[in-house]
A = this chain, B = another copy of it.
């Protein structure tokens, strides 16, 4: 792991990332030391950092660090964390803070390709996401809702949990975004009040028209196809959710080769 470019596996215990979750992060795929969709990931990171008033790191330095950490691994996950850095105690942001930049690489999790081809079983989580427009869309370090939602099940045959907001609208998976196919159109929940605007959605918007709107669970269950998507898993079509089964995923299949070709 690199912390501000220095190889170490610890961070300052006074870092505001720990104290308050005052930071943002990204996970992405690397192959042979080369991140995929780098420009998209960097722009998502920079956008989120700006939303919290954090300066973005230098793109070239960050890219070099991701390459260095993932070098020698055929396929790896890179995780980038950007925090406000260390400062004196208290919520007020000190003038003199210097952001901390962590880059780590992990072994590829080896999601079975059948999940992309045959679909997954998902569940509807009990936890409801709170509505906080000021933080909506940002992949920040305040992720207790996701931790609690993911702890609702231990059955390993359930691969993802669908999260609704406190008004009952669908938002996303615990670790992925949600896409519906309806009458040939791609729909995704609006992320203006909660949820994470994942880089997968930015990729998808570059290859297909995707419309975002307020969506209900009933609309999910009535959709022709339902997908969870993220930058590591790609597209997981849903084969079963809340008693509803889907057996064919032609729209997902059409996009699989585009996903495989991404660089």
A residues engaging B (CB < 8 A)?
1, 3, 8-22, 25, 27, 52-53, 77, 79, 81, 83-84, 89-93, 102, 104, 106, 127, 130-132, 134-135, 140-151, 166, 174-175, 194
Contact = CB atoms under 8 A, between A and B. Distances in A.
A131 B131 contact: yes
Given A16-B147, A18-B141, A21-B141, 7 more contacts: A11-B11, A18-B18, A19-B25, A20-B143, A22-B147, A130-B194, A142-B144
A194 B184 CA distance: 41
Given A18-B17, A18-B81, A21-B141, A93 B147 contact: yes
Given A11-B10, A150-B91, A175-B90, A21 B104 contact: no
A20 B53 contact: no
Contact of A130 (B20, B132, B149): B132
Closest 3 A/B residue pairs (Cβ)? A21-B21, A130-B130, A142-B142
Contacts of A147: 16, 20, 22, 84, 91, 93
Nearest to A154: B92
A140 B144 contact: yes
A130 B14 CA distance: 26
A10 B100 CA distance: 13
Given A12-B10, A132-B145, A144-B142, A151 B21 contact: no
